[in-house]
Amino acid sequence: MAAPLLPTRVPPCLTNRLTETALCFQKKLEIDPRQPKALVGMSIVALATRQTQAAVDMASAAIAAAPIYGPAWVALGQAFKSSGQLEGAENAYLQAIRLRGTDELAHLGLGELYLAKARPAEAITAFELALRRKPALVAAHLGMGKALALLERTDEAFESYQRALSLSPRLPEADFALGILFTRMGQRKEAMRRYRRALAHRPDFAAAWMNLGSLLREEGREVYAEAALLRAVELCPDLVSGWVNLALLERERRRPQKVVEYLRRAFVLNPDQPEVHIAWCQFRAAEKDLAGAWVWLRWAMARDPNDAEAANMRGILLHTERRFTEAVQAFEQAEALGHCAAASNRGNALLDLGRMPEALGAHQAAVDRDQDHAGARYNLGLSQLRLGDWKRGWPNYESRWRFREVHRLPRNFSQPRWRGEALDGRRILLHAEQGLGDTVQFCRYATLVAARGGSIIMQVQPAVERLLQSLAIVRAGLAVTATLGGPASDFDCECPLMSLPAAFGTTVDTVPSPGAYLGADPHLSAARRQQFPNLKRRRDGVLLVGVAWAGNPRYKADPQRSLPLETLIPLLRTPGVEWFSLQKGPTAEQLSALPADIAVCDGCRHDQDLAETAALLSHLDLVITTDTCIAHLAGAMGKKVLILLPFLSDWRWMQNVETTPWYPTACLIRQSCAEDWAGVLERAKHLLANLRASHGVR
């Protein structure tokens, strides 16, 4: 989310009947062109209408007419501040203080100036002096709250804003500022309520519309978010952050033309603002244009070398380029500059370097810094699961529902989430949420749910539904299946399949592992035997081995876990083996490029679902696969399976182990260092040779 905006303070008495006020002052000046009060009044009117030079001129004329008139110096300070002449503004306020008579306004202006100059501690002193002279000065309480918030003295900031509201209950600026505080505290619902209160009292509050839209975007309520953000830029077309937030929304919607349109608007408004350059950088990176992303990032860092978001983005680009050591250094710099997510990103880079304890510490530090940061807690959960601390890992993994990189548009139900309590005959919906392999892995928990007294509906992907008819609890009539995306029967509570380990408090030692819990349909299995002569006329001593080498290309880490079929050629030349490809889709076309001396039967290219794939697997002696749904299917069927893993594999395969409690028949073969597929294949060949020997093959 782009940084929340605080509005420029405009004297409330000038927000209405501004023209009438200006005419009144003009009449006085017609009588006496050097009348100080009228000149000061016209300076304030000019400020309210963004005529900063006119404001300076009017305040200067008032001082020329009455050099010891304090309000004129205050007006000049305001005018200088609005025109960016901060040193001149400070001198004007100090002169007003020396003249006395308007001390509270001069101290107030000085405090606001120190905020503009990023000197919050001095601002607090100025606001305290203003309030000492006038305790009911609402603007000073607001300014004090902002200064305290900048110093992360959140409780005190909250009290200052509340005091402002007690003095002026319908003050939109106070509710707006509280909205920002609640956002930082992770209390998004209360933040939205505050923004809506601010808008109820001031419907043209563009910054409140923008911040509300940003929160709605983070909650996945994209239609409402778009409406709020469009209202913000309609009210204030030069609101750069409004256009940037619209671009973020459209980037998440994968509508690149809209992203470009909105970012161009932001860039035209302020070509020197790092926020805009970083948004361009993020967009180019999302479009896989790393060269373009670097160009925009360098522009951002040239304008502000100490921008925390730019330092964090530099780490992200270095991590994407697999320059992990440099990425760690960049994230450390971002942390030092105050970026709240940089520690978690540093943890991810440390994982790729194999520095697991340090990575866990970095993820914990990110959560300690912001307890409600969903992404940081999610990453901590993954590291805990990877390192075997499942007791803490599963609860933290539940934060994925608030993390938009995992669930951009999470499903919402009116029925309550099941947490593991007794069901006493209630109907429970167990539903898939991620990949096919995840559904295969976690459907085993349905039996445990039934033991808690539940009547089960399993809503899964179409490619898995027919396979789940082989699940014992479905065969027994204690659970029914339904297609994900279609209507489900009435139910009393719900639970995602991947939340069931948390509900049952699963540890490494208590994984429900009932052996082969999925199987092949006998009719489909017989049809496969007829389809492939090698299965029907099996030769003695020959191993039948299935192979899969690539997963879903849309998966973020797929380039690390999948490999080209040609990489497997040394393994495919193993004698005494008949190979069956378990690959579906376009990747299976790589079979046609194999050398003529290698024969791999195209077994699954045209499979309609995993039930057909299971029918082929039922005839095989062994499966060799990278981390794909085939690994889960083979394990769930109790088949021997060699799972070829990258140096940093998925969390579920843990770390530095060769077996997994999820599938007792699986053997995990990991890269010893990044990109070391040759070493993995060498170990796979050795294990394959041992299996051949056990089958009497010479």
134 versus 8: the higher-pLDDT residue is 134
- What are the start-end ranges of the E strands in 197-248? none
For residue 482, what are the contacts with CB-CB under 8 A and spacing of at least 6?
457, 458, 459, 460, 465, 488, 489
Mean pLDDT of 503-519: 93
Strand 641-645 relative to strand 622-626, pairing: parallel
* Residue that finishes a domain, picked among 342, 369, 402: 402
HSE-up of 624 (CA within 13 Å, CB side)? 24
Please answer whether residues 562 and 551 qualify as being in contact, where contact means their C-beta atoms are separated by less than 8 angstroms.
yes
3-class secondary-structure state, position 411: coil
> Is the pLDDT confidence value at 14 over 60?
no
Please answer whether residues 131 and 144 qualify as being in contact, where contact means their C-beta atoms are separated by less than 8 angstroms.
yes
Mean pLDDT of 483-509: 92
* Residue that finishes a domain, picked among 510, 541, 569: 510
Alpha-carbon 407 to chain mean position = 9
> Is the pLDDT confidence value at 5 over 80?
no
Q: Retrieve residue 596's tokens.
A: 């003529």
> Is the pLDDT confidence value at 593 over 70?
yes
Q: How confident is the model at residue 578 (pLDDT cuts 50, 70, 90)?
A: very high
Among 499, 410, 485, smallest CA distance to 218 is for: 410
The reply to whether 542 and 636 lie within a common domain is: yes
Q: Is residue 408 part of a domain?
A: no
The reply to whether 562 and 649 lie within a common domain is: yes
* Residue that finishes a domain, picked among 367, 402, 437: 402
d(CA 399, CA 441): 20
Please answer whether residues 211 and 180 qualify as being in contact, where contact means their C-beta atoms are separated by less than 8 angstroms.
yes
pTM score of the predicted model? 0.84
540 versus 34: the higher-pLDDT residue is 34
Average pLDDT, the chain: 90
Q: What pLDDT was estimated at residue 25?
A: 77
Q: Is residue 479 part of a domain?
A: yes
The reply to whether 433 and 493 lie within a common domain is: yes
Residue type (1 letter), 216? L
- Least confident stretch, 50-64, 177-191, 510-524: 50-64
Q: How confident is the model at residue 184 (pLDDT cuts 50, 70, 90)?
A: confident
What DSSP character marks residue 9? P
Q: Distance between terminal CA atoms of the chain? A: 63
- The residue written with tokens 């970012």 in the block is 263
- Least confident stretch, 170-179, 345-354, 520-529, 556-565: 556-565
The reply to whether 656 and 542 lie within a common domain is: yes
> Is the pLDDT confidence value at 530 over 80?
yes
654 versus 405: the higher-pLDDT residue is 654
> Is the pLDDT confidence value at 1 over 50?
no
d(CA 457, CA 445): 13
535 versus 456: the higher-pLDDT residue is 456
Q: What pLDDT was estimated at residue 696?
A: 56
For residue 193, what are the contacts with CB-CB under 8 A and spacing of at least 6?
none
Please answer whether residues 588 and 602 qualify as being in contact, where contact means their C-beta atoms are separated by less than 8 angstroms.
yes
Please answer whether residues 356 and 389 qualify as being in contact, where contact means their C-beta atoms are separated by less than 8 angstroms.
no
What DSSP character marks residue 17? S
d(CA 662, CA 518): 13
Residue type (1 letter), 167? L
> Is the pLDDT confidence value at 3 over 80?
no
Range of the domain at 316: 306-402
Q: What pLDDT was estimated at residue 7?
A: 31
Q: What pLDDT was estimated at residue 17?
A: 66
Q: Is residue 221 part of a domain?
A: no
Q: Is residue 28 part of a domain?
A: no
623 strand-pairing partners: 546, 641
Q: pLDDT tens digits, residue range 123-151?
A: 999 999 999 999 999 999 999 999 999 99
Please answer whether residues 188 and 219 qualify as being in contact, where contact means their C-beta atoms are separated by less than 8 angstroms.
yes
> Is the pLDDT confidence value at 101 over 90?
no
185 versus 387: the higher-pLDDT residue is 387
Tell me how crowded residue 678 is: count the other CB atoms within 10 A of its CB: 10
Q: What is the CATH number of the domain that holds 541?
A: 3.40.50.2000
Q: Is residue 52 part of a domain?
A: no
CA dihedral 138, 143, 146, 151 (to 10 degrees): -130
